[in-house]
Chain A
Amino acid sequence: MGIETENKEIEIGIRENAKKLLSEKQVDVVIGYSEGTVPLSSTPIIIRKEEDVDKLVWNNLCYINIARYLAPLMPQLCDSEGNSLKIGIVAKGCVGRAVNILATEKQVNLENIKMIGFNCNGNVNRSRIDLEIGEKEILEILIVDNDIIVKGKDWEQKFPYDEYINELCKVCQVKSPSATAESCVGECQELESIHDEFADVAEFETKSAEEKWAYIKEALEPCTLCYSCRQACPVCYCNLCFVDQNLPVWFGKTTELTDVIIFHLIRAFHLAGRCVACGACSSVCPVGIDLNIITRKLEEIVKKRYNFTSGLSAETVPPMMDFSMDDEEEFMLEED
């Protein structure tokens, strides 16, 4: 089935389910994606009335992880007394995972959430397309059959879809939300674990320490520490981020290499076992930094050591909230 056809079916499914949930008053609002006003983007939208469901779209340009609006809960999703409304979420796999993680961490009550699941077929890699198009203005972007057609004023270029989606989408194993039937309508699944070889991480690990440092240094060179990655992340919801603390000041906030690398290192550490590999951090970066290899490494660590994949269920305890006498300690210093 071509991507174009898949998208149309997904859209129909989303709109039907949204309409059903709203008309049966199972939800008060539905959050999803709508058509963007500039190419290579989409706007999240809150639908309050049945007649507006046709504004919901799925066009492979839906980068924001909508679970981001659940913690802290957006004022538009609360009633006049500040309690959560009943919310329907258009959930691709990673959005569903994020909702599960937030439920585990008691940031969200699953009784108020209904996921409108569908089988996600990926998002277009916007920074890669921008890079290849260069200094020409993109006026339109379409998915036709299995190709991405990018149009300008008097030019057109075609890209094969499978090659030009986000790297994380290429290796995604949880395309539709993993949730129970009570919290999900549409396409859902109940996964207990996934199987992943993490070949890309293994390949990165063959580099020497110097090569890894050089790679990370080069990738993070344009970083301006704007914190968009942190703001877009659905599981980064701390009231006071570690980097903003000033009693004491732990780490610097300048654009020196040390400060930049440390911010990303510690944010990655805080996401261990919680990151849902949605790629929103890379998609929202204003200078186009793509650190999906770190996301993959985080997933690999918890899978390898604790056989855990984040967000498959709201019941399992994440590895950083747990411990065991039998944990591996091969990294510890021992006598010869």
Chain B
Amino acid sequence: MRHFIEELDDLQAELLAMAGLVEQGVHEGVLSVTGRDPERARRVLMNEARINQMEIRIDEMVTRLLALNQPMARDLRFLTAAIKINNDLERMGDLAVNIVERALSLARQEPVNPEIDMPRMGRLVESMVRSSLDAFVRRDTHLARTVLAADDAVDDQRNIICKELVAFMERNPATISRALDLLLVARSLERIADHATNIAEDVLFLVQGIDVRHHSETRG
């Protein structure tokens, strides 16, 4: 049997490899919407199966490590955080797939140009995802807290986009189905940001052993 520490390193490597695929999925997803690029969208769909397999493998690794080693303290926190991050990553992967499905639908229709800044929201969400994972890699609580702080900005962006899209639909009822696609993209992005926030919380729990969930005063 390999050494426990080495197995923990393997687990982290597997998580990060999965995170790389998810990050790529979100990035390509946003680009496939804004660039009306079905080719990009299909690439994301191809990676979904891999992400799902990795989720299962990571779950098995964690279960085995928990069962065989009865870890304590920090190692135990790492393993519980790994379970949660694994779950968040898999959900983010699914949301990226939702985004590219909307992108494929949009690419089949005439373009619409409501005055919304989807790329900006995409960049913000992508940077949150990246920061939450960087915080996990470096065990950086400061970076994790900036992710928690950014969540409100994403919510604001989503609200602005929703309001504009609703107004746009009222003005041009013929565009309702396309505008709804965009609305769903914004909603998926916002939920990806929520999962990034969860990962940041897991990092704080992992490093400091504190639970910041549902305590708004510790945010920021």
Q: Do A and B bind each other?
A: no
Q: Chain A interface (Cβ within 8 Å of chain B)? A: none
